[in-house]
Amino acid sequence: MRFTQTIAVVTGAGSGIGRAAALRLASEGAKVILVGRTRQKLEQTANAINGKCRIPMAEVFTADCTDGEDISELAEYVLQRYGDLHVLVNNAGGSRNARILEMTETEWDNVQDVNLKSVFLVSKALGNIMVEGAQHVDGNRAIVNVASLSGHQAGAEIPHYSAAKAAVINFTRSLALELAPYGIRVNSVSPGFIETPLTEQGLKNERFVRAIQKNTALQRVGNPDEIANVIAFAASPEASYMTGSDLLVDGGWLIK
């Protein structure tokens, strides 16, 4: 129960890694605010959490993480309801395949917004709450940004996504420097090939799956719970001397 008396926000919590991270934090005692654009998916996550608890441990806040006004409302909600925040998991993201010479400006902007701008907007708005709380109460506070293996290598079909996730890793380092004086740690987690709605279509292709297995040291695709485990570690007091780091969880893809 590493997160007893902890208030946490998880963006993109309706499915995949965000859902798994929210479930994991709540299972260890955190009160989790689930953020995303699709209320139905968020409610499914909330039901999965609250169905296992004697008291509700999850609640839903519908917001577009690329919209500054929505995020300002989220920050106001957190401040008014709880007055503090201890853990933030920036997980909102997504992409569609496109090559540079064929990509439209709108496609580029959309992927940058959902993967990078969202991290900036949410970190700024909720980071201010964490800073204010840190000045009055001692305790573990952490931000975990979900980056990607794609942020470590070029992607022929996803150059906009690779660029955004590489930027998330560097943004994490900058934010870690800025928040270190307040004792707030900031790290990123870079998943490899994981079974999520984002990869669902590709993983239906047997040749693609075999290629992943061949080029991954552990010879398999990962699952969201394996990423949630690392997110929970990075957010916990067990990682108290770690900030500005990127945790690569790729099954050994980059060492092959």
Q: Which residues are catalytic?
A: 161
Query: Taking the alpha carbons of 191, 196, 197, 203 in that order, is the dihedral positive or negative?
Result: positive
Query: Among all chains, which residue has been given the structure tokens 């900036």?
Result: 120
- Tell the burial category of 101 from Cβ atoms under 10 Å away from its Cβ (0-12, 13-18, 19+): exposed
Q: Is there a contact between 92 and 76 (Cβ–Cβ < 8 Å)?
A: no
Left, alpha or beta for 12 (phi > 0: left; psi -120 to 50: alpha)?
left
DSSP E strand boundaries for 76-218: 87-90, 141-146, 184-191
- Distance, CA of 115 to chain centre: 10
Phi, psi dihedral angles at 182 (to 5 degrees) = -95, 5
Other C-beta atoms closer than 10 Å to the C-beta of 68 total: 14
29-63 burial, b at 16+ Cβ within 10 Å, e below that, comes to ebbbbbbbbeeebbbbbbeebbeeeeeebbbbbbb
Which tokens hold the place of 150?
Answer: 């794609």
